[in-house]
Amino acid sequence: MLKPMENNYREVKSLDGLWAFWVDFDGVGYKKGYFKGLPPEVARPITVPSSYNDIFSDPRIKNHVGDVWYERRVLVPRSYGDRRVVLRFGSVSHHATVWIDGFEVAHHYGGFTPFEIDITHLVRAGNYFTIVVCCNNDLFLETSKLGLAVNADPSTASSENRNLSHISSASAAPLSPFPSGFNFAGIQRSVQLVYTPYQFIDDLTVVHEVSPDLKKAKVQVSLFARDMAGSNLNSQQLSPLMRRRLEIKKYELDRQRFVLTSFNLKLTDLKGNVVAEGHSAVVPIAPTNCRHCPKRFRCARSPFKVTAPPISPDARLEDLKHIVVDSSAPIGAEAMISSVPVAKTVTGVAGNAADFMDNSYGTQLQVVTRPDSHNKNLSSKERAEAAVREGERQERLDRAKAISGQVATRAVNASGNTADYAGYADGSSNGNDGHYYENCGHYGEGTDEEAIMESGLDAEPWPDIELWSFKRPTSDDKEAEAIMAEHVSLEGCKYRGKVTLQVTNPILWQPGDSYLYFLEVELKSGDLTVDSYTLRVGIRSVEIKGQQLFINHKPFYMKGVSRTEDSELRGQAFDYVTMIHDQSLMGLLGANAFRTAHNPFSEEQMDYADYKGLVVIDEAPALCWYRPELINERVQLAHKKTIAELINRDKNHPCVVMWSIATEPDGALADKNSQDGADGLLVRNYLQPIVSYARRLDSTRPLTLVNMQDARSNEALVDLFDVLCVKFCDSDLSKQIPAQDLALLTEYLRQEILPWFAYKKPVMISEYGVDTLAGFYSVTGERGSEEFQIKWLELCHQVFKDNVSIVGEFLTFADINPVLGVRRDSRKGIFTRDRHPKSAVFTLTEHFSSMG
């Protein structure tokens, strides 16, 4: 997803400022039809972007969990009648539903990544339109970075403050902000109206390679364009007014369509000199036909989308009815019911209940196009083989019809080879009225991952969206064709291109000394420029060699801070003043890196880090949800989607040198079930597909898991990651040592970190703060005092200095807003929440400066 920019072909209108706002304490907004607009008598003004919690004096608003509503009226200038109009939200925490003039246009889950909506067909140039947003901050595992405190008992969690604990309808488990974090919510980043041509540059990905002598660089650019004139904008399901709007828009699109021919690229330096250029042909990407797409029964855009009855959470594949079909026998032979269990490799996460939704695309066998056995283009042998396959499928269908529930089927051919399938049957005892819906792929073949990066964010199942609804199949394609004609698609035609630029004697982007080129991309129709986009590009390399991190082929040590987007009044909302001030304080410390704890920061923060030459560990909002009773395939799918949105947004930032894909799986790892220590198989089976997926999305950056603690507990995970992050804190064990016994504390810290070096991987200290109350002084250096914080940092720095495999350290930057009533505070920062320094600031400054 490209960040909006302005040039001769694109324009951006900020919608930041005052919006109408209403808190739905009683959950009646939908019943009252507030999605059409907020009545003036109930609305109050609010600033966007902001977290609504700290703005008002009403404590009910501060601690509100549930729906809040926003409204804004916007004018589309008459001169923009020939433009594509896109509404873009930087983030809405945690679940957003958006309406335009009463038409529901989008859902988005997750409060830290942007989403956009093409509203071209819904607005008219010269007229006003109304935006209404319902923002919900319920804590779902599938939607939020906020997890359950690992030591909390779900059966006893309760609080009068709803911001502390409440029931998640997605996981049916009480969720609390953790660790000691407040559940900030609202439209927390900028809202923009973006105008682009109808044929436009949709996305681009830049990958760098730098030669070892630093004298040559290769910049590979993958490009994607979209032509909205290819959209199907007809639908019989819409109102006459909306159909008329679509017909007019379709006419406008056709009238302005150009034949796209090439992508032209030019890389220029800060003085405007061209250092490299190239071009690529515009290659059409074959459109997906919903009928033949394997995801057609699952995709929200597909007219064939169906829903299934809920699956028992206790169901296991081993317990499913298992049908064996012998395809070597004559078709129609009686099938056998087998009790042979399905292999363990196809069970759910760590052997949990397998989720039918996880690897089912739902091929509906009754809706069949012309069979291959009738295809005259095939040889007689190929047609015979196709007939056997079709007979086998029909056999599975017929035998499964009489079963109700989940079904596993195994086809056995004459050679004894087997193929396992899974499906759902809603049959009756006679088998005549039943239907069998089977997965497209065999067990273990394919997942939803390839579809996650698609632009529409409602294309995957989510907790409160109806996932499946069975429709009675027909013997021919007439009904399918009719449904297809009613399908509204705003995807348009897609195009791609690829260009490799060679740069001689490049000026590299270096930590602390950034240099950003201008990459100008033009979408051409012959000699005519249809669209243009400019991206700031920093050329640099990142790699892991042995136990060291290298940037531009030189060892690099991260002198960093762990930052959280949290400030007074604004909450987690982006604010330029806070950003510049925080970066200034980092400069005072001598820091060269920061972690985005525990969620992606705003795009403005990443741009500024590019400009300042700050190294960033970009962290996904996946904190502390790894309890055995909580994680499952649905949460795993949502986690993958979060990773996809994060990487898709920040992939071109040179400041990002590492992805942190998860945080603190302590609860599961602490569940000891073997003499060798904590068994991490549960977390491993959950994380391994996510790690593989992240590497496919970006193979150029290392991966890490933030805040591992005990080396023995994490043994099952360390091989998955490139860099090992260690959390160095004043734990319950270390607190048994008197604060004045510095020698014993030092030895304890050394013993904590030594086991990590046995894995022969780079080790990074992701956190080593200690709770400190600003203004609390103690002659004897008691815990909680500013004197003890200084002693603690000095001990840690000595231990770090003695171990060359440590590639970086991150101290908590500032205190965060605590949730009143929790057992643990959040005062580990070296600055207070309002950015006043504690005494340890000068200790850290001296430490960083001594390292050069």
Helix axes 742-753, 786-801, angle to 10 degrees: 50
State the first-to-last Cα distance of the chain, in angstroms, to the nearest integer.
38
CB 154 within 8 Å of CB 148: yes
Give the three-class secondary structure for 349. Answer: helix
β-pairing, 274-281 vs 283-285, is unpaired
| DSSP annotation of 285 | E
CB 650 within 8 Å of CB 606: yes
The residue among 152, 179, 178, 154 whose CA lies nearest residue 167 is: 154
Angle at 701 between CA 698 and CA 705, to 5 degrees: 100
CB 726 within 8 Å of CB 756: yes
Locus of tokens 């004298």 = 215
CB 71 within 8 Å of CB 48: no
CB atoms within 10 A of CB 491: 17
β-pairing, 806-812 vs 763-767, is parallel
Locus of tokens 């992805």 = 659
CB 409 within 8 Å of CB 323: yes
DSSP H stretches of helix in 230-379: 240-255
**Does the N-terminal peptide bond of residue 598 adopt cis geometry, omega within 30 degrees of 0?**
yes
Mapping DSSP onto H, E and C, the string for 639-704 reads: HHHHHHHHHHHHCCCCCEEEEEEEECCHHHHCCEEECCEECCHHHHHHHHHHHHHHHHHCCCCCEE
CB atoms within 10 A of CB 545: 10
Q: How far is the C-alpha of 550 from the C-alpha of 545, rounded, in Å?
A: 7
The residue among 227, 233, 238 whose CA lies nearest residue 251 is: 233
CB 774 within 8 Å of CB 836: yes
Percentage helix, strand, coil for the chain under 3-state DSSP, each rounded to 5? 25, 30, 50
CB 205 within 8 Å of CB 648: no
β-pairing, 404-412 vs 593-596, is unpaired
Burial of 636 (0-12, 13-18, 19+ CB in 10 A): buried
Q: How far is the C-alpha of 143 from the C-alpha of 94, rounded, in Å?
A: 6
Q: How far is the C-alpha of 246 from the C-alpha of 80, rounded, in Å?
A: 17
Q: How far is the C-alpha of 210 from the C-alpha of 508, rounded, in Å?
A: 9
Q: How far is the C-alpha of 610 from the C-alpha of 614, rounded, in Å?
A: 7
275 Cβ contact partners less than 8 Å away, ≥ 6 residues apart:
267, 268, 269, 503, 504, 506, 517
CB 51 within 8 Å of CB 184: yes
E strands in 787-845: 806-812
Q: How far is the C-alpha of 431 from the C-alpha of 397, rounded, in Å?
A: 10
Tokens of residue 804, six digits: 């060359």
CB 843 within 8 Å of CB 593: no
Q: Which of 71, 645, 664, 809 is catalytic?
A: 664
787 Cβ contact partners less than 8 Å away, ≥ 6 residues apart:
777, 778, 779, 781, 839
Burial of 602 (0-12, 13-18, 19+ CB in 10 A): buried
β-pairing, 67-75 vs 216-227, is unpaired
E strands in 211-316: 216-227, 262-268, 274-281, 283-285
Active-site residue 664, yes or no? yes
**Which residues does the annotation mark as catalytic?**
664
